[in-house]
């Protein structure tokens, strides 16, 4: 099928790109979806890994690094997804999201805080009218093993509590069993339940086994209406990796070229150091292009990463390495 | 039958119990006291120091959590390791410092004895530097010595083994973790001794040794905010400047004096915490 390439549309709401209503291919049945997604070219695993290995060695000049650190801070979804989350922990996280470095007002706020649905209302009220968005995981996060009714209820609950962004998980079991249509329909249903909230679709790439699967799942999610595709929940052994991010960014780039709709990419889990974050930004720039170097199009789901970014930022300014316990743990 | 090729040793850094090359990829030649080529030694960079401080910070809590008795045993084992490789160390010292063989052996023996001396101190520091304080009330009041944390050492430039032992064993003995810059011209005895910690049960990261150009490395280490104290024994004329820089992040600074009291080093990187406890409860 051929779709005339459209230009990415730059409408923003709370710093997030609003999906433009465009003509994605309509699928009458699972067979059509299967034919479309199955016809995507395969991923050259060796090539992808070689490419990221090469990009990871790229050095950044000092001024570029300073800019990149500030950009990375503005892209952080400051996350706490623990069973032991307390209201106090969430409100201190929100304070940190709004003013990451209490000693330095020039540090920008992060993109969002990411919490479980029952803590959305608290996060919403803690953040007040700041530009920081509230993201909530939903759809029986992290396993996604619940009926569609329960998942939709979970989403509506989070949205009505004030979530600006919903991080849903795909049904990996269905995907791996080949029921791509079910995965697609579920995302469509969740997207409808989100209303005005933006939808991030977690592929849980650590469970998808191959890069080809990552590419297919990325396309299915984007075709079904995702505003973001996200690597991982952070709850399984394998989290975000550079090669997986590259595959997803290529998919997002190709999708934008095909349909004109820009879908963001969020990497999550295991990204702890500034060096890691800068490597991701290099891959973003070299793969999708600088249009994605924006909190509206690229995010880091992380908690401890923010402290390292702040430490490196101060190191860049003062020349002295910083004491980690100068920055709060959560 | 071909002639056997020389197996030349390149001396590397000791960071977190491993022996990496410098991240900078640099090395520099070290000469014997007589001016002959001795070995190539890794030339560390500020990023190697940064990695070493991270390693030291995470190792320090574990080292301090070990019992004082256990810390003594570990230091004693380090001395045992050095003793069994005493001839090797003596050769290093002889070549590096240009001593007679007999004097080099004596120097190694003094260095090992010094390690044993510090091994003995681990469970006696609390009695000597701490105490029970008389207070006006029904309370026990104790002063307990605790380590400063991460101590940066600019090791003695001339005394390649004895001086090194003195600089690193004192802070380690009281529970600190150490990042040491080895003597610039004579690093091999110190590196060889430091290698033995890996077979001495000293937890990885408690002693880290970075070789290289002292005037390049020391300024980065003294301003590192996650370093709690600096020993400027080997800083020479740069000592005043380094001490001033260290002051910006409020560190303990040790500088040698002519009338040295052997306990001053031991006391230099110790903090005192005071504990109250009710009597008769």
pLDDT tens track for B70-123: 999 999 999 999 999 999 999 999 999 999 999 999 999 999 999 999 999 999
Residue A35: enclosing H or E segment and its boundaries? helix A30-38
**Distance between CA atoms of residues B18 and B27, nearest Å:** 17
Mean pLDDT of chain B: 95
**Would you say A48 and A243 are in contact if contact means Cβ atoms under 8 Å apart?**
yes
- pLDDT tens, B235-279? 999 999 999 999 999 999 999 988 778 789 999 999 999 999 998
Whether A30 is in a domain gets the answer no
Please give the share of chain B, as a percent, with pLDDT higher than 90. 93
Is residue A116 situated within a structural domain?
A: yes
Whether B178 contacts B147, CB under 8 Å: no
Position B227 in a domain: yes
> What kind and span of H or E run contains A315?
helix A304-318
Q: 């520099």: which residue's tokens?
A: B28
pLDDT at residue A4, rounded to an integer: 36
Is the residue at B201 inside a domain?
yes
The stretch A133-141 carries a mean pLDDT of 95
Is the pLDDT reported for residue A7 higher than 80? no
Out of A18-32, A242-256, B53-67, which region has the weakest mean confidence (pLDDT)?
A: A18-32
Question: Is A330 annotated as catalytic?
Answer: no
What CATH number does the domain containing A130 carry?
3.20.20.70
Tokens of A232: 């991982």
Residue numbers in A near B57 (CB within 8 A): 324
Identify any residues that bridge with A93 across adjacent strands, giving them in sequence order: none
Residue A314: phi, psi to the nearest 5? -70, -40
Residue with tokens 């007999």: B102
Residues 6+ apart with CB under 8 A from A86: none
**B1 lies in a domain?**
no
ipTM above 0.85, yes or no: no
Q: Do B224 and A321 touch (CB under 8 A)?
A: yes
pLDDT of A123 reads: 96
Single out the residue of A36, A38, A54 nearest to residue A46, CA to CA.
Answer: A54
Q: Do B224 and A324 touch (CB under 8 A)?
A: no
Whether B29 contacts B13, CB under 8 Å: no
Mean pLDDT along residues B131-152: 95
Judge residue A205's burial from the number of C-beta atoms within 10 Å of its C-beta, 0-12 exposed, 13-18 middle, 19 or more buried: buried
Range list of H helices, A39-178: 45-56, 62-74, 87-98, 120-127, 148-160, 172-176
* Contact with chain A for residue B244, Cβ under 8 A: no
A191 part of the active site: no
3-class SS string, chain B = CCCCCCCCCEECCEECCECCCCCCCCEEEEECCCCCEEEEEECCCHHHHHHHHHHHHHHHHHHHHCCHHHHHHHHHHHHHHHHHCHHHHHHHHHHHHCCCHHHHHHHHHHHHHHHHHHHHHCCCHHHHHCEECCCCCCEEEEEEEEECCEEEEECCCCCCCHHHHHHHHHHHHCCCEEEEECCCCCCHHHHHHHHHHHHCCCCCCCEEEECCCHHHHHHHHHHCCCCCEEECCCCHHHHHHHHHHHHCCCCEEECCCCCCCHHHHHHHCEEEEEEEEECCC
Is the pLDDT assigned to residue A278 strictly greater than 70? yes
Report if residue B3 sits inside a domain.
no
Per-residue pLDDT of A188-241, as tens digits, reads 999 999 999 999 999 999 999 999 999 999 999 999 999 999 999 999 989 999
Query: Count of domains in chain B?
Result: 1
Residue A278 falls inside a structural domain: yes
Tell me, yes or no, whether A93 lies in a domain: yes
DSSP state letter for A197 = S
Of B220, B225, B248, the CB nearest to A323: B225
Q: Are B75 and B122 in contact (CB under 8 A)?
A: yes
* Number of domains, chain A: 1
Among A residues 309-328, those touching chain B with beta carbons less than 8 Å apart: 319-324, 326
Q: Chain A partners of B249 at a C-beta cutoff of 8 Å? A: 320, 323
pLDDT for B216 beyond 70: yes
Measured distance CA(A171)–CA(A66) in Å, rounded: 39
Q: State the virtual CA torsion across B60, B62, B65, B67 in degrees, nearest 10.
A: -100
- Name every residue whose Cβ is closer than 8 Å to that of residue A263 and which is 6 or more positions away in sequence: A19, A222, A226, A227, A228, A229, A252, A255, A256
CATH number at residue B126: 3.40.605.10
Distance of alpha carbon B181 from alpha carbon B245, whole angstroms: 17
Pick the closest to residue A81 from A236, A254, A275 (CA basis). A236
For residue A325, the SS3 value is: helix
Label the pairing between strands B139-147 and B131-132.
Answer: antiparallel
Whole-number Å distance between alpha carbons of A267 and A261: 20
Whether the per-residue pLDDT at B59 is higher than 90: the answer is yes
Span A269-280, mean pLDDT?
A: 94
The span from the CA of A315 to the CA of A311, in Å, is 6
Domain that holds residue A209: 40-316
Q: Would A28 be classed as within a structural domain?
A: no
Burial of B49 (0-12, 13-18, 19+ CB in 10 A): buried
Q: Is residue B62 part of a domain?
A: yes
User: Is B224 within 8 Å of A320 when comparing Cβ atoms?
Assistant: yes
| Cβ <8 Å between B50 and A321 | yes
Instruction: Report helix, strand or coil for A199.
Output: strand
Domain contains A27: no
Chain A residues close to B248, C-beta within 8 Å: 320
Q: Which residue range(s) make up the domain with B122? A: 10-258+271-278
pTM of the model as a whole = 0.85
DSSP element (H, E) containing A302: strand A298-302
**Position B246 in a domain:** yes
Classify residue B38: in a domain, yes or no.
yes
Residue B236 contacts residue B216 (beta carbons within 8 Å)? no
- B219 in A contact zone (CB under 8 Å): no
The residue in chain B having the minimum alpha-carbon distance to the alpha carbon of residue A312 is B50
Query: Measured between CB atoms, does B223 come within 8 Å of chain A?
Result: yes
- Pick from A306, A295, A297, A310: which is nearest to A94 by CA? A306
Nearest to B19 by CA among B148, B149, B191: B191
C-alpha–C-alpha distance, residues B238 and B215, integer Å = 8
Exposure of B255 by Cβ count < 10 A (0-12 exposed, 13-18 middle, 19+ buried)? middle
- The answer to whether residue A213 sits within a structural domain is yes
């Amino acid at each position: 099928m051929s779709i005339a390439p459209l230009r990415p549309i730059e409408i923003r709401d709370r710093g997030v790109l609003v999906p433009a209503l465009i003509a994605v291919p309509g699928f009458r049945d699972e067979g059509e979806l299967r034919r479309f997604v199955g016809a995507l070219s395969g991923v050259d695993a060796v090539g992808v890994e070689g490419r990221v290995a090469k990009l990871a060695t790229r050095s950044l000049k000092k001024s570029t690094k300073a800019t990149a650190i500030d950009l990375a801070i503005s892209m952080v979804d400051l996350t706490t997804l623990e069973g032991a989350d307390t209201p106090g922990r969430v409100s201190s996280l929100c304070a940190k999201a709004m003013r990451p470095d209490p000693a330095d007002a020039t540090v920008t706020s992060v993109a969002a805080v990411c919490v479980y649905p029952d803590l959305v209302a608290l996060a919403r009220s803690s953040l007040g009218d700041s530009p920081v968005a509230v993201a909530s995981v939903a759809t029986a996060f992290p396993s996604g093993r619940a009926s569609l009714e329960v998942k939709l209820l979970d989403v509506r609950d989070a949205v009505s509590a004030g979530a600006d962004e919903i991080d849903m998980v795909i049904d990996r079991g269905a995907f791996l069993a080949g029921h791509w249509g079910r995965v697609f329909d579920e995302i469509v249903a969740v997207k409808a339940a989100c209303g005005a909230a933006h939808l991030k679709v977690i592929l849980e790439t650590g469970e998808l086994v191959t890069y080809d699967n990552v590419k297919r799942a990325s396309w299915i999610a984007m075709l079904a209406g995702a505003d973001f595709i996200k690597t991982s929940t952070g709850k399984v052994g394998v989290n975000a990796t550079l090669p997986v991010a590259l595959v997803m960014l290529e998919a997002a780039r190709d999708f934008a070229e095909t349909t004109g709709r820009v879908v963001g990419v969020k990497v999550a889990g295991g990204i702890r150091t500034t060096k890691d974050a800068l490597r991701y930004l290099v891959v973003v720039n070299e793969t999708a292009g600088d249009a994605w170097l924006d909190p509206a199009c690229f995010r880091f789901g992380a908690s401890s990463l923010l402290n390292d970014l702040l430490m490196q930022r101060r190191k860049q300014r003062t020349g002295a390495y910083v004491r980690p316990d100068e920055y709060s743990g959560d | 039958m071909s002639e056997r090729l020389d197996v030349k040793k390149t001396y590397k850094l000791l960071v977190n119990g491993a022996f990496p090359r410098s991240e900078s990829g640099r090395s520099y030649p070290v000469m014997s006291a007589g001016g002959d080529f001795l070995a190539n030694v890794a030339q560390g960079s500020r990023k190697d120091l940064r990695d070493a401080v991270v390693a030291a910070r995470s190792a320090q809590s574990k080292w301090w959590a070990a019992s004082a008795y256990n810390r003594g045993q570990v230091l004693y084992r380090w001395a045992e390791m050095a003793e069994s490789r005493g001839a090797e160390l003596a050769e290093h010292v002889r070549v590096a410092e240009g001593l007679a063989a007999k004097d080099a052996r004596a120097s190694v023996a003094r260095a090992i004895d010094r390690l044993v001396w510090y091994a003995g101190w681990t469970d006696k520091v609390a009695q000597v530097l701490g105490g029970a304080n008389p207070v006006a009330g029904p309370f026990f009041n104790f002063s307990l010595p605790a380590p400063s944390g991460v101590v940066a050492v600019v090791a003695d430039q001339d005394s390649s083994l004895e001086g090194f032992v003195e600089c690193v064993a004192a802070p380690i003995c009281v529970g600190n973790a150490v990042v040491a810059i080895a003597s610039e011209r004579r690093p091999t005895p110190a590196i060889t001794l430091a290698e033995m910690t890996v077979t001495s049960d000293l937890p990885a990261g408690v002693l880290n040794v970075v070789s290289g150009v002292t005037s390049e490395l020391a300024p980065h280490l003294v301003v590192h905010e996650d370093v709690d104290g600096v020993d400027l024994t080997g800083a020479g004329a740069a000592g005043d400047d380094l001490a001033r820089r260290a002051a910006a992040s409020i560190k303990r600074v040790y500088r040698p004096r002519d009338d040295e009291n052997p306990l001053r080093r031991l006391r230099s990187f110790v903090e005192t915490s005071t504990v109250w406890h009710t009597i008769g409860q």
